[in-house]
Structure 1
Amino acid sequence: MAFDGITVACLVHELREQLLGGKIAKIAQPETDELLLTVKSPAGQKRLSISASASLPLIYLTEYNKPSPMSAPNFCMLLRKHISNGRITDIYQPGLERIIHFTIEHLDELGDVCQKDLIVEVMGKHSNIIFCNTEGLVIDSIKHVSAQMSSVREVLPGREYFIPDTLNKSDPLTVKEPEFIEKLIEKPLPLSKAIYTAFTGISPVVAEEICFLSGIDSSITPKELSVDVLRHLYNQSDLFFSAVKEGRFSPAIYYDGQNPKDFSALPLTHLLGYTRKEFPSMSQVLETYYASKNALTRIRQKSADLRQVVQTALERSRKKHDLQFRQIRDTENRDKYKVYGELINTYGYHLEEGAKKLEALNYYNNEMISVPLDSAKTPQENAQRYFDKYNKQKRTYEALSKFIQETKDDITYLESISASLDIAMTEDDLAEIKEELITSGYIRRKLTKKKVRIKNKPLHYISNDGYHIYVGKNNLQNDELTFHFAVGSDWWFHAKGTPGSHVIVKTGGDTLPDRTFEEAGRLAAYYSKARGGEKVEIDYVEKKHVKKPKGGKPGFVVYYTNYSLVIDSDISQIQEVKSNTSQ
């Protein structure tokens, strides 16, 4: 579901009720592209989160605070200077654009009443937060857009603010029937696409809803429809948007089973196979729908440097492995040279001087063989030459076999770190993975920074039979769980042959029911590279049979007797304990 103009209209309706007349008490900038405003309004103290993230732009009311950097960024300091303690006198949306204007009244340095505009543009990668004066000039913005970045509009201090109309769309709230029909007919596109490309603020899902309400196939083109049908389409569209004009919103999320698939400010009757859950406000819808997605997006951005380190090391190790493998293939025929030397010693006594080959019976397979000779050497010298060649290739094979295993271990280890990055949910998770990379020598520790002990906890679940299950989020936690937290009678689970988390089930000395084994197996499958698979093979064994090899890398274990099960990676029915119990 797109963050469309209808969603913004619903938010503006909500923000006017909650924030209008409110006083801006605090201004924070938790991220480089995000603001958090604390407003004391007649409705009580409210927090407004505004994100101009290119990947996930959002604006909504929230009850949660966010930690801010020790030094406030320049844009935050500018806003504090101008509008701290300012009063919000107006909140509006131009047309059905994905834009919200906040008009803020404040006192200047001389004590005179002034007005400023804080403009939030929620437009995907072009999202921005722009601070303007009453003359419409940009004072500053959270993102600067130069002429080199955009030929349509510069967003820089001193430039005029305007809404670029690059697509020549009409406002569906004010459009009349003749213009509505004309706009659609000029679009040689399927009807639903023609609707959302002709009118502002309409997403593909809303366009499908308008077609569905009209009883018209959304795949046909507008030119194929009669004038009467197009008039009927206009009437249905006007009826649909009357709810927006009158503020009759009903925010809801549409679920496919447990997974949220879409959200909307108005009912979407064409989503027949989904479960609709209504919410009191659009802010709650957005916070619920995007909570996990926003967290994952932020963590993925913050983990980019670590991923680059791991990916670079992986590529280097894989190239090294390929080279070593090609070199070891060159030693495959080493035993042949040993046989040559032995046959020359056995049959070479009758060779004539200057012979170029030896025809002899290979007593290892009873077949005749032709052994090439250096005519300038004696039989003994030819035999020694082959023995030397054999010994050299044998030493090479033995050395390369050891190196190849070490390189394979490096690849497996780096893939396990990559898997840890995939399941990282917090900055503490990333800090622990970074510390592991430093300890392993993949990142150089800065001289100015001391090693910090990170008090991070594993994931904690409770099975439907009441048993506690713990999941390591990285190799350091895996070692801690398996060799310090678990006892001998606990059960240990891991996805077979693929990087993943160690999963420990605390038995308390009980015999586990089958359902708990299956749920622990699902967790091991989900927190591995095999996530999403319907048939993932899981090894499980009592913890007392799991050993740490001498000199093994973090997370590496060995076990020789184990059970196996094949399970899916669906963990939706397993309860997670959010406040992880201390170990």
Structure 2
Amino acid sequence: MAFDGITIANITKDMSDLLTGGRVYKIAQTESDELLITVKLSYENTDKYGIKQAKMIMSADASLPLIYMTDETKPSPMTAPNFCMLLRKHIQNGRIISVTQPGLERIIRFEIEHLDEMGDLRHKVLLIEIMGKYSNIIFTDEENVIIDSIKHIPASVSSVREVLPGREYFVPSQDKVNPLETSADEFSAIVLSKGVPVFKAIYQGYTGLSPIISQEICKRAGIDSDKSAIALDTSESIALYRAFSEIVDMVKNGEFTPEIIYEGNSPKEYSSIPLTMYKDAPGFSAAPQNSISELISKYYAEKNVVTRIRQKSVDLRKIVQTALERNVRKYDLQTKQMLDCDKKDKYRVYGELLTVYGYSAEPGADKITVNDYNTGKDITITLDPTLTPNQNAKKYFDKYTKLKRTAEALEEQLKESKEAIEQLESIESALEIAEKEADLAQIRQELHESGYIKSGFGKSGRKEKITSKPFHYQSSDGFDIYVGKNNIQNDELTFKTANGGDWWFHAKKIPGSHVVLITKGKEVPDRAFEEAAALAAYYSKGKMQEKVEIDYLKRKDVKKPNGSKPGFVVYYTNYSLSISPDISALKLISD
């Protein structure tokens, strides 16, 4: 999720509270489009926050523009770039007078006072514009004239607004209205007159509101966000404006509660206001953060891990997908061949009837009608006129024998193909929940042992050391619950970790993880069963369904056939329940 105006408002408030009155102590340009600024806090804020200085990162990177407070120290080049030297000359040791945001624009404005070479008091403004590929850090004087910027934008790049030394600075126009200064009539004219989905009408008409926030407004109003704005009735329009005003008032009053929305263990979204749209969504949970800066640092660090793992798993995904498609095609072909083999019993009956009644066939006849003593009905049998009745009977018996042998071979092949499909689908699920390189190493090991890849070794030529462990959760009642991340872990968890008296859970007839609830001889309450079942639902291919059917039974009743594929088990008696894949009540333990 990109920075929106509400996130910027949250950052502006935090920085205004912390940095106003502080002095710019150090300025470093750590990247070509990034600044790290250290501020010595005012005595008042030092007492209030218990720290003497704070660091702020400003990045105008086109792919990920950011601004937040940090504790990190980044290396900077031996020779400072020109822009950095310019800032040091003008505002190092300067005092921050204010930190503001124009309207709900994605802009933060730092006004700084300093003494010039003559000892006169001067004012300068440092601005960061967080606008995707158009992001920039701009330095202006008190007359709003650009002194310099971290990126120069000449007329050849933008005919709308040049960002060059000597040009006047102005906020880029987006033909959108400031939501902090709108009225009910204006809201009606901007949003309710458009024949587009409601959430689009909101963010297209108002500055600083992202699609996610616009959908949240619709959720709070109890309106389908995809409904045409012009089709809303009076009660819906009133509810929508009320929800819009509720969020606008939060921003005006600085009532921010930053939170990260997780889908399972992966960060999905973040916001400075509660996203109620995810509150009841299966598999999603909200994690409140102490500050927006802490949120940004944590969110993007975790997002980078997820992105890196997905990039590293691309080759494995391709191998699995190719093998799965091949086995599905093979299974479909074998199924069609098996349907052809269903004719075998008909040919056997034809042979038997010709053996009994063939003498009645006229010489050179191409068919004969006889009574089938099995059913009592007459049937017509096609004959080869060049063959005798006995030779025709033998021909049908030969067809029967051939199809019988084919069916026996196909039955085994169908079983193998089905097991291969089930294994590959379970590996697909394992790739979806892999969080670390060690998880991928274990999946790679299974693919190697199953013959899908030629080498089970890492880039160094040595076998990869496996350090991946199952997920460890704790139920509301304090019971330990473990979830296998892949088929190798599923086998180890079920047959080595769990005891016979522990409980075993799995999604019914769909790929998913083995889940084990460790009882330690204690009686298990219903809530623990439900939470373990929710984990089995969440870590399965049915995680996006409203309800998933789960089988559960004592671990001692789960068996693994000899020679079966990793993760494959059988059981004959079990309990079942239907559960929502909501794991928000469970605590993930870091082992």
Given the alignment, which residue of 294, 312, 317 partners 2:322?
312
* Residue equivalent to 1:21: 24
Displacement of 1:472: 0.9
Q: Deviations over 1:23-70 (max 9, x none)?
A: 3679599xxxx989695865446474969696x8764335689xx9xx
Report the equivalent of 1:406.
Answer: 416
Residues 137, 150 of structure 2: 8 Å contact kept:
no
1:514 CA drift (Å): 3.5
Q: 1:570 to 1:374 in 2, by over 3 A?
A: same
2:375 — aligned with what?
365
Read off the aligned partner of 1:527 and give its amino acid letter.
Y
Secondary structure in 1 matching 2:387 = coil
The corresponding residue for 1:10 is 10
What code does the residue aligned with 1:121 have?
I
Query: Which one of the candidate residues 307, 314, 333 is aligned to 1:323?
Result: 333
Report the Cα distance in structure 2 between the residues aligned to 1:102 and 1:540, rounded to whole angstroms: 60
Change (3 A) 1:9 1:255: closer
Give the secondary structure class of the aligned counterpart of 2:332.
helix
Identity of aligned residues (%): 45
| Residues paired across the two proteins, number | 514
1:425 aligns with 2:435: yes
- Give the superposition deviation at 1:12: 3.8
The 8 Å contact of residues 62 and 134 in structure 2, kept in 1 or not, is answered as yes
Give the structure 2 partner of residue 494 of structure 1: 506
Tell me what 1:72 maps to.
none
Alignment of 1:541-552 (within 5 A): 541-552=553-564
- Preserved CA contact (<8 Å) 1:131 1:139: no
| CA distance in structure 2 between the partners assigned to 1:365 and 1:164 by the alignment | 90
SS in 2 for 1:492: strand
CA contact under 8 A between 2:259 and 2:273: conserved in structure 1? Answer: no
* Alignment correspondent of 2:69: 61
* Mapped contact 1:184–1:198 kept (Cα < 8 A): no
1:124-143 correspondence runs (5 A): 126=133, 135-136=148-149, 138=151
Determine if the alignment matches structure 1 residue 200 to structure 2 residue 207.
yes
Distance 1:380 1:163, change over 3 A: farther
Matched AA of 2:130: E
1:337-366 Cα deviation digits (max 9, x unpaired): 111112222222343331212222222222
Task: Give the partner amino acid of 1:450.
Answer: R
Tell me: CA distance 1:434–1:62, structure 2 relative to 1, closer, same or farther (3 Å): farther
User: Structure 1 residues 327, 206: CA separation in 2 closer, same or farther (over 3 Å shift)?
Assistant: closer
Amino acid at match of 2:69: L
Secondary structure of the residue aligned to 2:341 is coil
> 1:404: Cα distance to partner?
1.6
The residue aligned with 1:249 is 254
Which residue in the other structure is 1:464 paired with? 476
5+ residue gaps, structure 1, are: 69-75, 105-114, 141-146, 213-217, 222-232
Matched residue, 1:509: 521
Aligned residue among 536, 546, 553 for 1:524: 536
* Structure 1 position 373, deviation (Å): 0.8
Structure 1 position 512, deviation (Å):
3.0
Local SS of the residue matching 1:361: strand
**For residue 367 of structure 2, what is the amino acid of its counterpart?**
K
Amino acid in structure 2 at the alignment position of 1:336: K
**Retained in 2: the 8 A contact 1:153–1:164?**
no
Q: What is the alpha-carbon distance in structure 1 between the residues aligned to residue 161 and residue 449 of structure 2? A: 46
**Which residue among 96, 103, 106 is the counterpart of 1:98?**
106
Q: What letter corresponds to residue 249 of structure 1 in structure 2? A: G
What are the superposed Cα offsets for residues 67-92 of structure 1, whole Å, 9 maximum, x if unpaired?
x9xxxxxxx99899749999686888
Cα shift at 1:557:
1.1
CA contact (8 A) 1:253 1:261 kept: no
Q: Is 2:25–2:37's contact at 8 Å kept on the other side of the alignment?
A: no
Q: How does 1:229-308 map onto structure 2 within 5 Å?
A: 249-253=254-258, 281-284=291-294, 299-300=309-310, 303-308=313-318
Counterpart-to-counterpart distance in 1, 2:150 and 2:35: 23
Contact 1:358/1:371 (<8 A) preserved? yes
Letter in 2 for 1:340: Y
Contact 1:540 1:563 in 2 (8 A): yes
User: Would you say the 8 A contact 2:561–2:569 is kept in 1?
Assistant: yes
> Aligned equivalents of 1:268 and 1:451: distance in 2?
45
Q: CA deviation at 1:479?
A: 1.3
Residue 468 of structure 1: how far off its partner (Å): 1.5
- After TM superposition, give the deviation of residue 152 of structure 1 in Å: 8.8
1:121 aligns with 2:134: no
Offset at 1:525?
2.0
CA distance in 1, matches of 2:582, 2:482: 17
Q: Distance in 2 between matches of 1:9 and 1:262?
A: 17
User: Relative to 1, partners in 2 of residues 1:77 and 1:407: Cα closer, same or farther, differing over 3 Å?
Assistant: farther
Q: Is 1:396 aligned to 2:399, yes or no?
A: no
CA offsets 1:130-149 (integer angstroms, 9 cap, x no match): 89996547489xxxxxx9xx
Partner in structure 1 of residue 234 of structure 2? none
- SS of equivalent to 2:452: coil
Compute the displacement of 1:481 (Å): 0.8
Are the counterparts in 2 of residues 535 and 566 from structure 1 also a CA contact under 8 Å? yes
Give the whole-Å Cα distance in 2 for the aligned partners of 1:93 and 1:392.
Answer: 82
Render the CA deviation track for 1:80-135: whole Å, top value 9, x for unaligned.
9749999686888677542568999xxxxxxxxxx9x9966354xx5868899965
Q: For residue 254 of structure 2, what is the amino acid of its counterpart?
A: F
Deviations 1:499-537 (A, max 9, x none): 111111222233434433333222222222222545433
Q: Deviations over 1:412-469 (max 9, x none)?
A: 1122122223333344333433443344333443775432122112111223333221
Return the letter of the residue paired with 1:415: E
SS at match of 2:467: coil
Give the Cα–Cα distance (whole angstroms) in 2 for the partners of residues 491 and 330 of structure 1.
44
Instruction: Name the SS for the 1:405 alignment partner.
Output: helix
Distance 2:509 2:443 in 1: 22
Q: Distance in 1 between matches of 2:379 and 2:79?
A: 91
Residue 252 of structure 1 aligns to a residue in which SS? coil
Aligned residue number for residue 223 of structure 2: none
Alpha-carbon separation, structure 1, partners of 2:78 and 2:510: 50
User: Could you say if the C-alpha distance between residues 338 and 422 of structure 1 is closer, same or farther in structure 2, counting changes exceeding 3 Å?
Assistant: same
Tell me by how many angstroms 1:297 deviates. 6.1
- 1:351 corresponds, among 361, 385, 390, to 361
Contact persistence 1:251–1:279 (CA under 8 A):
no
Paired amino acid for 1:573:
A
